[in-house]
């Protein structure tokens, strides 16, 4: 698979870290994550992971253009866990995620948290005594059930825009602690008509957040959405896998 890496032309030069061949090379993944990856038979990073992981961990905003099945989920989940482990845990009863992942469909939101659970099962042995946890928030699911799960203290939330806005409007949830914002399958997000909702949500996240933006295509509409989200002084690094 051809792997191209390109840097947006206008911003200051990034020092692009070398791609990794092994997850251990990152040096910052908690032991429980490395063990969980091994147990799941995930032995080596896929191309987008070997490029994106060191970049994301260096604090850059990253735009990843890659097809389904290329391994984007772990590319944003693993750095999210490192980011969270470095902070104080969310107190019980407090619904204040640190990493917010926006997804266009319920199925995708659920798939993302299931991928997260695979690597988080051992997280009680990490710095957070109750473990780092992930919760899916989506329309159609029972609200009170999702809220109860969130109240156990979920640092990672994968959400569809509609239900998330619902929770924000009811003030059931606060985005004050979100410093890591992911937009997954941005092209499908636009197809579903979520552009305005995404802008509304990202407007409630502090401006100096780190942004990871993923899409299968790079149309002008997708580019516009990306530039609306990645507005820190440094420009996003763009990684393309395939054509
Ligand atoms: P995408 O989001 O790009 O569509 P996913 O992140 O959902 O792709 O990954 C597709 C599948 O590949 C998942 O089942 C995931 O567990 C698996 N996977 C991810 N990374 C690796 C890896 N490094 N080695 C083997 N399998 C992997
Ligand atoms: Mg995906």
pLDDT at 138 over 60: yes
For the record, the structure tokens of 124 come out as 């009680």
Output the pLDDT for position 28: 96
> How many angstroms is it from 133 CA to the middle of ligand 1?
20
pLDDT at 128 over 80: no
First to last CA, the chain: 9
Span 49-71, mean pLDDT?
93
Alpha-carbon Rg for the chain, nearest whole angstrom, is 17
Starting at the edge strand found earlier in the chain, the sheet holding 62-65 runs 3-7, 237-241, 62-65, 210-215, 180-183, 99-102, 156-159, 134-137
Query: Does the Cβ of 195 fall within 6 Å of ligand 1?
Result: no
Query: Does the Cβ of 123 fall within 6 Å of ligand 1?
Result: no
Name the residue of 51, 53, 71, 108 to mutate for ligand 1: max ligand atoms within 8 A of Cβ: 71
pLDDT at 132 over 70: yes
Q: Which DSSP string corresponds to 2-47?
A: -EEEEE-SSSPPP-PPPPPSSGGGGS-S-HHHHHHHHHTT--S--H
Confidence category of residue 213, pLDDT binned at 50, 70, 90: very high
Q: Which residues 6+ apart lie within 8 Å of 108 measured at CB?
A: 158, 184, 185
Output the pLDDT for position 21: 96
Q: Whose CA is nearest to atom 5 of ligand 1?
A: 71
Dihedral, CA of residue 41, residue 51, residue 160 and residue 95, to nearest 10: 80
Output the pLDDT for position 232: 74
For the record, the structure tokens of 117 come out as 């659970």
Q: Look up residue 19 and give its DSSP letter.
A: P
Contact between 7 and 14 under an 8 Å Cβ cutoff? The reply is: yes
User: 239 forms bridges with which residues in the sheet?
Assistant: 5, 64
Output the pLDDT for position 89: 81
Neighbours of 93 (CB within 10 A): 9
Instruction: Determine the angle formed by the axes of helices 195-202 and 161-169, rounding to 10 degrees.
Output: 40
Q: Look up residue 217 and give its DSSP letter.
A: -
Q: What percent of the chain has pLDDT over 70?
A: 91
User: How far, in Å, CA of 66 to CA of 46, rounded?
Assistant: 12
Output the pLDDT for position 116: 97
Query: Does the Cβ of 69 fall within 6 Å of ligand 1?
Result: yes
Closest CA to 75 of 98, 104, 50: 50
User: 214 forms bridges with which residues in the sheet?
Assistant: 64
pLDDT at 243 over 70: no
Name the residue of 19, 43, 74 to mutate for ligand 1: max ligand atoms within 8 A of Cβ: 74
Report residue 225 CA to chain centroid gap: 16
Query: Does the Cβ of 210 fall within 6 Å of ligand 1?
Result: no
Closest CA to 109 of 57, 44, 154, 157: 157
Point out the ligand nearest to the CA of residue 105: 2
Confidence category of residue 153, pLDDT binned at 50, 70, 90: confident
Output the pLDDT for position 46: 95
Q: Whose CA is nearest to atom 18 of ligand 1?
A: 71
pLDDT at 241 over 90: no
Phi, psi of 158 (to 5 degrees): -110, 120
- pLDDT tens-digit readout, 92-107: 888 999 999 999 999 9
pLDDT at 79 over 50: yes
Point out the ligand nearest to the CA of residue 72: 1
Output the pLDDT for position 3: 52
Span 198-220, mean pLDDT?
96
Q: What percent of the chain has pLDDT over 90?
A: 76
For the record, the structure tokens of 39 come out as 């147990």
Point out the ligand nearest to the CA of residue 186: 2
- pLDDT tens-digit readout, 2-58: 455 554 544 555 567 889 999 999 999 999 999 999 999 999 999 999 999 999 999
Question: What are the angstrom distances between the C-alpha of 4 and each of 77, 187, 220, 238, 240?
Answer: 22, 20, 20, 9, 5
């Amino acid at each position: 698979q051809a792997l191209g890496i390109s840097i947006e032309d206008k911003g200051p030069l990034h020092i692009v870290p070398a791609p990794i061949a092994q997850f251990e090379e990152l040096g910052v993944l908690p032991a429980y994550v490395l063990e969980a990856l091994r147990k799941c038979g995930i032995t080596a990073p896929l191309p987008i992971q070997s490029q994106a992981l060191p970049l994301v961990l260096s604090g850059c905003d990253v735009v990843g253009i890659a097809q389904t099945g290329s391994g984007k989920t772990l590319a944003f989940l693993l750095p999210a866990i490192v980011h969270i482990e470095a902070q104080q845990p969310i107190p019980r009863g407090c619904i204040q995620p640190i990493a917010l992942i926006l997804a266009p469909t319920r199925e995708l939101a659920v798939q993302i948290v299931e991928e997260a659970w695979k690597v988080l099962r051992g997280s009680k042995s990490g710095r957070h005594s109750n473990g780092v946890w992930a919760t899916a928030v989506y329309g159609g699911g029972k609200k009170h059930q999702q809220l109860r799960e969130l109240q156990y203290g979920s640092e990672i939330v994968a959400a569809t825009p509609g239900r998330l806005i619902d929770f924000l409007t009811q003030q059931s949830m606060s985005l004050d602690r979100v410093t890591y914002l992911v937009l997954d399958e941005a092209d499908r997000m636009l197809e579903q008509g979520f552009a305005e909702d995404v802008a509304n949500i990202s407007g409630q996240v502090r401006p100096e957040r780190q942004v990871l933006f993923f899409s299968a295509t790079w149309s002008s509409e997708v580019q516009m959405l990306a530039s609306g989200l990645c507005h820190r002084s440094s420009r996003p690094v763009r990684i393309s896998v395939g054509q």
